[in-house]
Each structure stands twice: as C-alpha cells, then as structure tokens.
Amino acid sequence: MHICEFQNMIRRIYWHKDEARGVEKNFIHLVEEVGELGRAIIDGDPASIKSELADTLAWLATVANVLQVDLEEAALSKYCNICPKCGSSPCKCP
C-alpha cells in the first residue's frame, strides 16, 4: 500500500467527521496521539507502541486531508532517497 492509498482510506472512513471537526481540532488529536506514543515508548509496551504509531499515522493523514495536502507527494518530494540537508544516503549530517 502506498502512502496515498492509506491517506485515501482514512478519507473514505472519516472525511465526514474530519471535515466538520476542522484542521485545528484534528491537529490537536494528532498531537495527543504523539503524546500517547511517547508514553507507550516510555512504558516499553510493544503492543501499545504499535497501536499508537498506527493512530499517529492515521491522524497525520487526517490533518493532511483537511489541509488538502497529498502526503505521499509531500513526503517523497522532500525525502526522495537522500537526506534533504546533505544530499547523501546514508545521511552524513554532523
């Protein structure tokens, strides 16, 4: 599955709610999920880490949907096989 396919799947499932909620509230949900991911990492619970990573990705897709940003295009235009700062792979940044 491509990133765009995942983003489109999230749009199919949640667009009616995400659009009504608006970008700021969706962004707050994203930040909350990042916090929950941090807690799962601190707790060292592999199942929770996996679940929170999925939630974080889903809310990131939601924020991109509401902002009408193609997440795959954005990601690959910046991170296309090389580090965007040093232009190398692997990265040689200090």
Toward Zn ion, which CB reaches closer, 22 or 87? 87
List the x/- string, 25-64, binding to Zn ion by CB under 5 A: ----------------------------------------
78 touching Zn ion, by CB under 5 A: no
Amino acid at 28: I
> Which of 12, 85, 90, 94 is in the footprint of Zn ion by CB under 5 A?
85
Going by C-alpha positions, the residue among 28, 32, 50 that lies closest to residue 40 is: 50
Asked if residues 44 and 94 have their Cβ atoms less than 8 Å apart, the reply is no
What would the two tokens of residue 26 be? 């969706």
What would the two tokens of residue 14 be? 């949640």
Toward Zn ion, which CB reaches closer, 12 or 78? 78
> How far apart (Å, rounded) are the C-alpha atoms in residues 66 and 55?
17
**Which residues lie near Zn ion (CB under 5 A)?**
83, 85-86, 91, 93
